[in-house]
Structure 1
Amino acid sequence: MTQKIALVTGASRGLGAAMAEELALQGWHVVAVARTTGGLEEVDDRAKAADAPGGLTLAPMDITNDDAMRHLCRSVFDRWGGVDLWVHAAIHAAPLAPAGHIDVKDWDKSVAINLRATGTLIPMVEPLLRARPGGTALFLDDPHTGEKFFGAYGATKTGQIALAQSWAAETVKTGPKVVIAQPAPMPTATRARFFPGEDRAPLSAPRDEALRILSGL
């Protein structure tokens, strides 16, 4: 039986890292993408320490670099002929700020990572998913639309999910399958940036959320 292949963008920490580890534990081979080499290596070390039957290919690169991502997708096709699952977990959590005081650098970074990269990656990854029966793309919603101080994050994250919703509607009959899941609140670095000082004890572990979401695909 051919080993299943997963592409995880934003795989170095938080839910993306948990997804990569869980998939490797389930026997998938994971192409793990993130800008932070050290974070990816830590994910790989944890998977190896747990004797994960699947393996990881580490791809330390910036998803906003179109040429690099295009080359990666071509390399994935040449080596494996496609991917069975794409988990898009990459996100930029801009600091909370009133709309009238959003820093332009944070705004540009939010648009580049949360919105533009999604729009450029979908056409690159879609052929890889179509090449495999049942190819599935997974997006992770975190709705903060219209909430005060969430302007940069809320607007760009909402735009990302809107793109995913359009793609899902367009591919109902043709594939790939597009799934939008909403994780429970987790003690991630992103959430800590938004809610400093929060009691993190009641929050769900990223590993538990990864298992729950993947089991529903």
Structure 2
Amino acid sequence: MIDHTKKLVQEKFNTGNGYSYDAEVVYGDTDSVMVQFGTPEVEEAMNLGREAAQHISDTFTKPIKLEFEKVYWPYLLISKKRYAGLLWTKPEKYDKMDTKGIETVRRDNCLLVKNLVTECLHKILIDRDIPGAVQFVKNTISDLLMNRMDLSLLVITKGLTKAGDAYENKTAHVELAERMRKVDTKQHAESQSLVS
């Protein structure tokens, strides 16, 4: 259905058919399709989204129906299930900054990373200040290197469900837990030899 939707959107919504831009399906996953219509106007994107939903729904067997849901503008698509953007459900004002699958919502990062990414996204998406985002990252790195940062911002609280060598990807917390286990094992063995 996603491939069918992509084909119909790109066949219909293009300059050859009198539209101002060539539409492109940039993301499709399970129950949603994201289309870049090319317009910088939120209201026009909403109208095109509704038109596309109706056009495609007419080709599906009932009761299957595609519905227009929202516009993201601006929008950063990082990878599958990882994106951020300003979410609009009405053309007058965005509803919120919406993030999926990135460090602002993930629980396996320290607070510093979450705060850094959140502030950068705010500067990029809301303030439209990319140089400001870059400068904020540089200042944060400088503060970190100069020990001008609260160390509690660097704490990661995470549980492991298996031994460290059983993980395919050795992330920082897996590596640290494995080192701590080895130190604990060594200290336990040393304390046993002192007792005997």
Q: Same fold (TM over 0.5)?
A: no
TM-score under structure 2 length normalisation:
0.26
TM-score under structure 1 length normalisation:
0.24
Structure index of larger Rg: 2
